[in-house]
Chains A and B, each alone.
Chain A
């Protein structure tokens, strides 16, 4: 299959990539760019482990063709911490015991970023709603919800 050139801004850096028309964004990030923080959990849109931000919108990279993000700005989990400083959401996950095996965490943190950008003070119910597309087998979601609330507090103070 013929490869196509696309231009994207990934975690603030411009890159030009050559991708096949059927290539998934998930595989491009992981295999071509070495951004392995974005995880494969199902490939069918059921677990949320592959969530990334495309133009600030959460998108499942396992269901997104790379060619469709031409010109877009993409943020992966690797792009959240700046100058070696954790993003407040990451910090809250770390401090609230919200991370166990950690495999679901990149997708959930990315989703939390999108949620808090849109709704800086979500209720428990709103957080649960936002977690609908995410599977975490380890935590029972309890400390994840607590961490997102703690992040919301920390971000509004800052």
Chain B
């Protein structure tokens, strides 16, 4: 399909690659403002406490600017406003006088140097009244347990919190009881997924400049400059036209900056008090106490017919959200949606509870509940197939949600009909490539070191768009203009976490306008010079962000052709544009009529000289669909039965992202997701000390288990291929890819382990100890 395009589908070099390779790219921590102060944050030593007394006078005496709970606005807010107000639970303030986890911010200072700020921090005297903490979500729901939040705010109403349950979602379709009665086989299982730390390379940071008009200029680590602006305006009562958040590169994020990071409002409060610019870069230790993935306990019961057709499913999920409810309610809805969208299940019941505990607050991380559900659902489906003596592939093909079915893109309120689906193609081709038929049975594999091949499939939504407004806000906006020399400025507030969504956007613009990619650049963008864009999340960059750029570029093209038509005397609809790599220009021409040609530059210059105006457009787009991108994984692992070690050795990965905008970066996204998925299922977790509520690794990377280069299969042993699909609602037929590529990874590894050693392990991370334990238990019965 892509061959008809001059830019889309062709490999290109992303524009930020050279600045990043030469150390020129600027990140928040690289921003330097003359006269700026350095900020540091004082953090709670206790997992649960009341601050009885806090004395900053000694720090102030040495010249530091200090703030505590007394200095910050008291109205509660939620740092993530992707959801509509009725689904946004507010439970926090900028600083607190009742810390709910070790590392929660209780005071902050700013001083001339980092050293002085550090010294000032040590001079603050704090008297705590330690309160009983609770770390286990099941225990936290029991009566008589300490309450973290007595109440929260939902749409300006006070809502009481009981038994630390922050949110609850129940969904049921059909009649599960009846479904289970009709089933020939019913199996039950429980999975536990880990509390992964995002481990983005750049720690959360902010630089804030107070402006003479009472406003602020901001650089910060964020996936959404416009939501940061709205929040800072709301919290500090500053009109939005005086809050300017500047877009700057992000050193990774993976979901951890979907919310306004806690460091930003603290830095704003300091800068406003100091009346000087303040820079605050957090340490790795601080960062590790700031965010993590939602860990879940998932209980699942599933019923199928003899032929492998599913008839009923019942799932109960408990999520340990930590100290704050950043987005537990949408998470539960999404989690139910991922299950509904994985298998056609006529009878289904889902109950999800999100529970407060005295740990770092959990937030979005690549997949948002999807890898967790996929882990239990795909491993148990495999188990059903094995028990029925069926090929797991056959069972998947019988039950998957595909073409023409309804897909839940973001929980129950965001649904649309599937119009493109490459699942069958991916499964069949992938099975062929890996040698699925020859994988053997676990009972026949001999020796201490055995290999197994697993299969799992998954998907993720492309955006939270849909035909009706749901509980998630989802639209993008952009401005595009053609300059007087024929080059193009793209003013898009959409962020890029590193995956290349914006580079894909530039290719979409070049394709639409008919100009060489070299002519198109991302302009420096901030909230004052750009229109609203919700956030980079939900794999919406290419589909929704790129879709918006296409819409705006089409309007620019229209205007360009109208102006060219005045000059050439050819009707606009008879004109075409082609990129001319030699002229480094777009050339407008009338097909078949010689001499009727003009460069984009000449048109733009003429428009200026004749006072016709700028060739530009600005608009927003809400996608009316949320098409799923699909992935299918086949992974081979090597299990050492003596040591319990599991090593991934080979992978075949099939992806359906519709039209591939850039083959190099689409594959790169899949590589990265595969890696993070492997690390998630095999080793990552954050653990807390029972007594002190501290992280067992104290916030140091050295104590955090994570896969390294040496743990990955060799490049030649990872094959990636794409489905031949076209999504009619996406820009040039494209959907997303990012999150779809991580979701089945935990399940595929567990399924491969089963194929190697014949045991199901559903507790993440699957460490050597757990493998040995499972082998021992199997040997014992």
Q: Given A40-B281, A94-B13, A137-B199, is A100 in contact with B21 using a C-beta cutoff of 8 Å? A: no
Q: Determine the chain B residues whose CB is within 8 A of the CB of A145 once the complex forms.
A: 709, 714-715
* A101:B498 contact, CB within 8 angstroms: yes
Kindly state whether residue A80 has any CB partner on chain B within 8 Å: yes
Choose one: B251, B281, B672, B709; the contact of A103 (CB below 8 Å): B251
Indicate whether A97 reaches chain B with its CB closer than 8 angstroms.
yes
- Asked whether B22 is an interface residue with its Cβ less than 8 Å from the other chain, the reply is yes
Residues of B78-117 contacting chain A, CB below 8 A: 114
**Contact among A27, A78, A128 for B23, CB-based, below 8 A:** A78
* A124-B714 contact in complex given A97-B667, A100-B498, A139-B671, C-beta closer than 8 Å: yes
Shortest distance between the CB of A103 and any CB in chain B (Å): 3
Q: Given contacts A101-B249, A145-B709, is CB(A44)–CB(B200) below 8 Å?
A: no
Task: Determine if B709 and A141 form an interchain contact, defined as CB atoms under 8 angstroms apart.
Answer: yes
Interfacial residues of chain B within 25-52, with CB under 8 A of chain A in the complex? 25-27, 29-30, 32
Choose from B23, B24, B498, B702 the contact partner of A138 (Cβ within 8 Å).
Answer: B498
Residue pair A137, B20 in contact (C-beta under 8 Å): no
In the complex the two chains form, what is the Cα distance from A105 to B673 in whole Å? 18
Q: A86-B18, A131-B708 are in contact. Are A36 and B30 (CB under 8 A)?
A: yes
Q: Pick the contact of B202: A27, A103, A127 (CB < 8 A).
A: A103
B47 to chain A, nearest CB (A): 23
Partner of A104, one of B114, B201, B673: B201
Q: Find the A residue at minimum CB distance from B718.
A: A142
Cβ of A136 < 8 Å from any Cβ of B? yes
The answer on a CB contact under 8 Å between A94 and B701 is no
B284 touching A137 by the CB < 8 A rule?
A: no
Chain A residue at minimum C-beta to C-beta distance from B500 = A100
Query: For A135, what are the chain B residues with a Cβ–Cβ distance below 8 Å?
Result: 199, 201, 701, 706, 708
Q: Cβ of A38 < 8 Å from any Cβ of B?
A: yes
| Contact residues in B for A134 (Cβ distance below 8 Å) | 709
Q: Which residues of B contact A94 (CB under 8 A)?
A: 13, 17-18, 21
Closest B residue, CB atoms, query A130: B709
Q: Are B201 and A35 in contact, CB atoms less than 8 angstroms apart?
A: no
Check B709 against A132 for contact (C-beta < 8 Å): yes
Task: Given A78-B22, A94-B21, A143-B671, answer yes or no on A46-B700 (Cβ-Cβ < 8 Å).
Answer: yes
Contacts of B764 in A (CB 8 A): none
Alpha-carbon distance A54/B203, docked complex (angstroms): 26
Let me know if A140 and B249 touch, CB within 8 A. no
Q: Which of B666-716 contact A (CB under 8 A)?
A: 667-668, 671-676, 700-702, 706, 708-710, 712, 714-716
Distance of A32 from chain B, by nearest CB (Å):
11
Instruction: Tell me what chain A mostly uses at the interface: helix, strand, loop, or mixed.
Output: loop
Question: In the complex, what residues of A have CB within 8 A of residue B21's CB?
Answer: 86, 90-91, 93-94, 99, 102, 105, 109
**A153 within 8 A of partner (CB):** no
Q: Which of chain B's residues have a CB closer than 8 A to the CB of A4?
A: none
Asked, given contacts A129-B710, A134-B709, A142-B718, whether A36 binds B26 with beta carbons under 8 Å apart, the answer is yes
Which of chain A's residues have a CB closer than 8 A to the CB of B250?
101
Give the docked Cα–Cα distance between A77 and B21 (Å): 8
B708 touches A137 (CB 8 A): no
Q: Check A99–B708 contact: CB distance below 8 A.
A: no
Check: A122 CB closer than 8 A to any chain B CB: no
Does A5 lie at the interface of the complex (its beta carbon under 8 Å from any beta carbon of B)?
no
The reply to whether the CB of A120 lies closer than 8 angstroms to some CB of chain B is: no
How many A residues, CB 8 Å from partner? 59
Contact of A136 among B16, B201, B249, B283 (CB under 8 A): B201
A152 within 8 A of partner (CB) = no
A140 to B19, CA, bound (A): 21
Expressed in whole angstroms, the minimum distance between the Cβ of B658 and any Cβ of chain A is 20
Q: With A37-B24, A47-B701, A77-B22 in contact, do A103 and B715 touch (Cβ < 8 Å)?
A: no
The CB with the most chain A CB atoms within 10 A, among B32, B114, B665, B709, is that of B709
Residue A144 at the chain B interface, CB threshold 8 Å: yes
B180: interface (CB < 8 Å): no
A76 CA / B23 CA spacing, docked (Å)? 9
Shortest CB-to-CB span from A6 to chain B, Å, is: 19
Q: Which residues of A contact B219 (CB under 8 A)?
A: none
Task: Name the A residues within 8 Å of B675 (CB-CB).
Answer: 139-142
Contacts of A154 in B (CB 8 A): none
Contact between A43 and B284, CB atoms less than 8 A apart: yes
**B695-743 contacts to A (CB < 8 Å):** 700-702, 706, 708-710, 712, 714-716, 718
Q: Does B375 contact A (CB under 8 A)?
A: no
User: Does B499 belong to the interface (CB within 8 Å)?
Assistant: yes
The residue on B at minimum CB distance from A80 is B22
B504 to chain A, nearest CB (A): 13
Contact A46 B674 (CB under 8 A): no
Q: Please tell me if A42 contacts chain B, counting CB pairs below 8 Å.
A: yes
Q: Is A81 an interface residue (CB 8 A)?
A: yes
Interface presence of B306 (CB below 8 A): no
**Which residue on A lies nearest to B663, using beta carbons?**
A97
Contacting residue for A131 out of B14, B19, B26, B710, CB 8 A: B710
The answer to whether the Cβ of B497 comes within 8 Å of any Cβ in the partner chain is yes
Say if the beta carbon of B254 comes within 8 Å of chain A. Answer: yes
- Jot down 25 A-B pairs with beta carbons below 8 A, ordered by A: A34-B32, A35-B23, A36-B29, A41-B284, A42-B700, A42-B701, A44-B700, A46-B700, A46-B701, A46-B702, A47-B201, A99-B17, A99-B21, A100-B252, A103-B251, A103-B252, A134-B709, A135-B701, A136-B201, A137-B254, A139-B671, A141-B712, A142-B675, A142-B712, A142-B718
Known pairs A35-B23, A128-B708, A132-B708; list 5 more (Cβ under 8 Å). A41-B202, A101-B253, A131-B710, A140-B671, A143-B715
Enumerate chain B interface residues (CB-CB to A < 8 A): 13-14, 16-27, 29-30, 32, 114, 198-203, 249-254, 281, 283-284, 497-500, 664-665, 667-668, 671-676, 700-702, 706, 708-710, 712, 714-716, 718
Interface residues of A (CB under 8 A from B): 27, 30, 34-47, 49, 76-78, 80-81, 86, 90-91, 93-106, 109, 124, 127-129, 131-132, 134-146
